Structure 1
C-alpha cells in the first residue's frame, strides 16, 4: 500500500518532533514523514508542510505542494497567562519576527487582556516598561537581560483546520474526526478545571486577605484612580468615628474625608498631618504606579503626640537633652572651621567618637552638637564626668541596680545611664580618669551592646552611641598600663581634635565680644588696648578662662568701655611676648600659671639632684602629670621661654635639652620659702 510522503520543514527539532507526534497521532501509519532539514525535494514528497511563512519566499517548493501550517495555542499553558495582571506589557519572543506576530494573533484570539509586543534578536530597540517575556519551551536565550520574569507558553501545535487540509490534499479519508474534537474539548475541560480550582484558591485567598485587612489596627482606605474610596477596613471607620456596618466611607472622595489635608503630598514616607485638633500619621502606596489606584494607611497619634510632649518635658527637666547646638560654637579661624566641618561629617554616622583637646576648649559643647546633628537627635543625651565620679558609685550610676542590691537601694531598682540613654547618646567625659574596673565594664558594654544592673540577673539590650572626651594622652596611659589597650581601640574610631585658644587667636575677639555682650547686657564695649592684651595672652585655661575673665571685666567696669584697669590680675603678668615686665623672679608666684612655672623649675632641680643634667619637654610633661597638672609640650615650651629670659634656666642647641641655672635654684628656694611662710 502506497503511503503519501510529507516533507516537514521547521526551524527547530522541537517543532519538528511536535509536528511528527501530532500527525502520527491523527493519521496513524497512513503517512510517511521526512525531515526537511536533512533532505530536500529530491525525495519527491507529495506535500511540503512548513512551520513558518518565510519558507514561501526563500525556497523553490511548488505552491501546489506547499502548505504552511496554521497553528494554535497550547491550552495547558493558558492558566499561566490568565494569572498575569490585566494590561501587563509582555514581549512575545521568537527567533522569527513573523512567527512572533502569529503567536500574538493566536493569543489575542483568546481574549486575553495583555499588551503583547513582538520581539526577535534582530530588533535593536527594546520597548520601555516591559517586565515579562512570553517564550516557547525553548528560546530563553533570545530574552533581553533586562527582563527577569519569563512565562513559558509552550510550542504552538497544528490547528484542527490544518489537519483536515492535509487529509484533503493527500486524499486520505478522515478517520473518526470526532476523536480529535474530543481530545481538544478534553483539554478545554482540563483547563477549565484548573481555572476553577485557581478561582476557588483565589476566593480563599481573598477571604484571608479580607480578614487580615479588617484586623489591622491601622486605618486602611483603598482608592480608585479618581480618588474615590472603594474599600475601607474597620479600623478606618473606628478612627474616623464612622459606623462600619453601613460602610459610610465607600463611594466618598478621600478629600472630603480628610478636608484640609493635601492628599497629593502623602507619599510612601510616613508624615504627620493635622486635621482640626487631631494628628494622623499617614502614608500612601500606589498600585501599579497609580494605574490601579492606591492605598492610604493612617493612625490617630493625637494621644501619642501629647505623651511625647510630656515625656520631652520630663526628659528636659532631668537634663537628658542637649543644651548646645552648632550655633553655640563661635569661631572664624581656619583651624576651627575645619574642625567644625569634620564634626558635621562625624555626626552623620553612628560610630563612636572621641573628642581630644586641652581643658576648657569646649569638648562638651562639641559632644552636644554631634548629638544634635545626628539621627539620634530626638533621643536622650546623657553626660557623665569620670573625673568627678567616685569609683564606688560609678558602676551603679552607669548600669543601674536591682531592687535589694544593697542597703538603701530604691524600691524597684534604678536604671543606669546606659538604659536612660537608649536610642540616644552617652557622653563619657574625662574618660582617661575612669578606673580599671570601670574600663573593663565599659569594654563589655561596647562589645556586647547590653547591660546588667548591679545585683540583677537580667540582660538588658541597649542601643547607645558613645561620645567620649579627654584632655589626657590616652596613648601614654596605655603605655603606662593605666588604660586598657582594647578599650582604647574601641574608642579611637572617629577622633576629633579641638584646638586650644592660643592655636586660634583669630577667634579671641569674637569670643570676647560675645561674652562681654552676654554678661553686660550689651552695655559695654572693649577698648583696643584691652583687646590687644587679651589676644596676646596664652589662655592656659582656654575658653573657660576667657569666659571667667569676661565675667570679671563686666563686673568691675564702671564706664561704658572696658579699660586696662578692668582686666583680671593674671593679664597684668608676664606673657610669652612681654617677659620684660617681670622685674623680680619672685613675681612668678603672682602669675595665673605660677604652678606650671614652679613645676618646671622643680623638675629640672630634681633631675639635677639625680644626676640628669638636661631634660626635654616630654620629660617635664610626664613630671607635671605626676603632680596632677595636665599640660602639653607647647605649653611647656611657652613657659620655658619665660624662665629662660629670666635667666632661671638655659637651653642647649639642637635638642640638647634644658637645665636649671644657679639663679634658678636660688629663685626656686625663695619661692618655696615664701610659700611655706604664706602657709
Structure 2
C-alpha cells in the first residue's frame, strides 16, 4: 500500500490531513506522522504542510508541498462582517498567515487583513481575529474571534497525490459534490437583506468561479439563480449575467432539455450527454430547505478534460512500471547466433503479429520481448508482463480480463480493469504460457481471435488494441499431443516463433557477459585468472545467463584483494583429484628461511599481477622494505628459486618477470594464518 509521510507543524494539522487523505483515497494509502516514520526511503511521498518544513534529509523527488484552502463551511460568520473591517489573521507561521490572507482576498472578501504569528515584533491593533482553532496564539485585546478552522488540503493537491501514487481518482466526483453541497449550505444560511445578499452573491460568485466544474443552480420554479464561468463556457452561453439570472433554463438553452434529466432521478449519479459537440457528465443535487425542495444544483464536467487527466494518470502509471524497461541495447553478445537473432528481432518489431519466444529458463526471454516492444510502433504505449507460472488459477481470469463492481466480496469499488485493458495500444507479454490452465486457454484464444474482452461479471464487450508476445520453456507441440495445451491456441501463438539459444551454444559471448556483470555488481572491476575464465567458458550452464549472473555475484562476494581465483568459484565448479599437502611444503619453507620472507615475496607478485605489471628482484627488495622486511637481492633470488621448485611461482618469458601459480595463491592464505599465530605467541611471551 502506498505510504505518505505527512510533515506538519502541529498534531492538529496532521490529524486534519490524515482524515482528509484517508477519506479521499478510501483507505487505499497509509498516512504516517514524523514520529511514526524514521526511514524516509520507505515512503512514496513526503507531504509538507508548508515550504518552511523542508529539510535536506528529505529526498527532493519525494517532496510535495501542500496547497491548502479554506473550509467553505466555516465562512458564514466571516461573511457577516461589514466591508472594510480590520482583522488579524492568526497562524503559527508567517508564511501560512500570508497564504490564508491571499486565499481570503481571492475569494473576494472586502475586509482588511493583517498577519499575526508567534514571534512577530509589531502588528496591527484590531478587535477581530480570524483563527485556525488555535486560541492560545491570539494576542490580548481581541474582542471577537472568528474560528475558520484549520486549512484543509486544496483539491489540486489531492489530485496531484493521485497522479504521483497512480491511484484512480474514482472519488473525485464525491469530493466535488461535497464541495458543492458546502457551498449550497453556506448560501442557505446567508442573510436575506438586500445589501447583504448583493455582497454575499459577490462572494459566492468568487467561490463558484474557482471550481473547474460548471455549476448551474435553479430555484423551485426552474429559474436560474446562479451560474459560474465554467458552466457558461461548457454550454456555449454568451449571454450577460442579467440576461441569464431569473430566466428558465429552457428559455436560454432550449436544446439542453435539463428538466428531463433531473426528472429521471439524476441525483448522486453520473449522466453523459452530448451538447454543442461536447460530451458532458452531469451530476445533480437538490437544494432542500425545511424538508422541501427549493431548487437544484447541476454540475457539469467536460469529458475531454477528464480524458486528458486520465491520459496523464496513464503516463504516470507507465513510468512506474507499466512501461518497457529494456531495449535491444541491453542484449549482450556478438556471436553469430546473437547477430542473427538481433536481425530477426528488427523484422518482427515492424509487424503487429503475435510472437512466440522459445527458450530454456534463464536465457532472457523477457528481455527479448521488451526489445521487440521498444522497436515497434507501440513503444510509447504500455508494456504489461504476465507470468502464468506465478498467477493463481482462481485469480487468473479476473487479473487478465478485470471484473465489474459487486462481482467479488471485497472487490474494488467501480470494478477493476484487467491487464488486457491496461495494455490497450501497447503490448502484453504472456510469459510461461505453457503453464496457463486449460479453461484460461479458451478465453485467451477468444481474445487473440476477436481482440475483445469481457470483464468477469460484466455483459459488455470491450475492444482492445493489443500486440501479444508469448514465451515458454516448454515443448508446446508435445503438450498439444498430450492434450494439455489447446491445438488451436498453439497455432494462434505460433505465428512468429523466435528461439533463443542456450548459453552453452554461444560460449564466445561468456567473457563479454562476465564483464557486463562485473560492471553491474562490482564498484571496481576485479581481475580474474585465465584458468578461472577458461573454466567458466567450458562450463555447461544449465541455468544459462541467469546462472552466470549468480556465479559472478558469488565470486565478487568471496574474492580477496579484488582478484578472482579458482578458490572463489562456487561449489559446482570444484574439481576432484589429488591435493597438495600444504602443511608439508610450509614445513620445507621454514627450513629454507623465514616464512615471512616467502609470504612477502608472494604478496609482491600478487599485487603486480592485479595491476597487470611485471616485477623483478629489485622491485621485490623495495616492496619488502616498505613492509618492514629486510631482504637482499641475493636472498630474494634464493627464496624465489625455492618457491619455483615447490610450484608456487613460475618464470615468465624474457622481460615479464615471475608470476604466481594457483598453488601459490592457495598457500598464501595458510602462510598468513601461521604468521599471525606466531605473532600472537611472541606477544604473550614478551
TM-score (norm 1): 0.39
TM-score (norm 2): 0.39
Which one has a bigger Cα radius of gyration? 1
